[in-house]
Chain A
Amino acid sequence: MKKRGLIRQNSPWMEILSRFSRNKLAMLGAIVLLLLILSALFADVLAPYGMDDQDVSQALQGPSAEHWFGTDKFGRDQFSRVLYGGRVSLRVGIVAVAVALVFGGTLGVIAGYVGGKVDSVIMRIMDVLMAVPGMLLAVAIAASLGAGLGNMMIAIGIGNVPGYARITRAAVMSAKGNEYVEAARATGAGNLRIILRHILPNAIAPVIVQATLGVASSITACAMLSFLGLGAAPPTPEWGGMLSTARDYLRTHAYMAIFPGLFIMITVFSLNVMGDGLRDAIDPRLKD
């Protein structure tokens, strides 16, 4: 939606897109991701069973024609639950990154544009946040706020804030030095207008790359928190939560641990290769 507008305005985006589409691995990632998103969106239609349909007579069955990924101890169809689980993971991943992007991005723009004392205060605060490994910070926040989807999104989002703050700050600072910004200022444009019209469009590329990779790491973090029991409340299906349950059945019903993990990995993998592909497409110099 937004992308189309950008393409019409300036051809660099067209070039990036065409370079991206020539990267086979990245395109594969994009297609797989699209399929995953569609399967999560249309889980209602695609899933052979409801996400919480229990059938104790079918409990703990291995993969079969009726239950592709087998069933759990309540006889729930694992395939359906994996499809529904994608909704949670993708939503958490995207919302967490959006939260981080809004806060981190705003802070970064302010720090980079205003500079001076404001800049150093903001960046010192970011340094403090960075001093706690992201996963630990998320665990700490989630543990303090209590289990739940919303809290999990906040926890992961806050852990991501410093990354975006730094990246937007760096991008804004390099964009700020450009002559077209000087030219805009000379024509009497206001600060907000300069930021929105002249600096942000040119700072957005590295942020998009970071956001793509950020969704990947947020999905991992989401699965991890659920695995620890800090995620969505049962019976909401979630990949990490399913793995947590599967742990108890590892010796006897290994299939339960395989499929949800495989889906996490495929999702994260496709986002990672997409992010790498975007970065190479935006800055072809880095690739040879």
Chain B
Amino acid sequence: MQNLGDFKLPHFFNYPPYFTLQPVRDTREKQVQVWKELIIDYCRTQKIFVIGLEEEFPLFSNPVIERSLSHEAREAFLSALVSEGRAEWLGKGHRKCLILWHHIQDWADIILRFVKDNGLEDSVITVEEMRSGVECRGTELHGIDRAILMRALRLLEQKGKLAIFKGTSADDEGVKFSM
């Protein structure tokens, strides 16, 4: 079986018709289902947060069988993820898609755990430190997409767990926890 780096591709990836959007409803549902799982699994293990529909993406084509997904098919699979809350379109036109292998709520829980593990309950930390600082190494927050992190932080802000304040430039927004 083929691999993409350390990622083991499922068998269907080598079966040509899975690259054509199936016309029969039942068959298409099953097809969409396996593609959804593949996209989520791949993004989670490779830490990919954004998929550009018109850009090169390893899952969108299989050179071994000389097949690639049409734009329509890409959009169909990602839309299916969006409708389940496991992805979101970025902007209008459906050109880029944010992949949420964790729901925003789950990311918020991960942040809370991170805060407790590091004893930051009453501290101040910058947003950038949360995704690339020493403390986050080895946690799921390491390398998290900034947009997703901000969404999760805002959710926690609404719940009164923290306050976000602006720094002097865009990349030094700070977070004050109050838990």
Question: Do A and B bind?
Answer: no
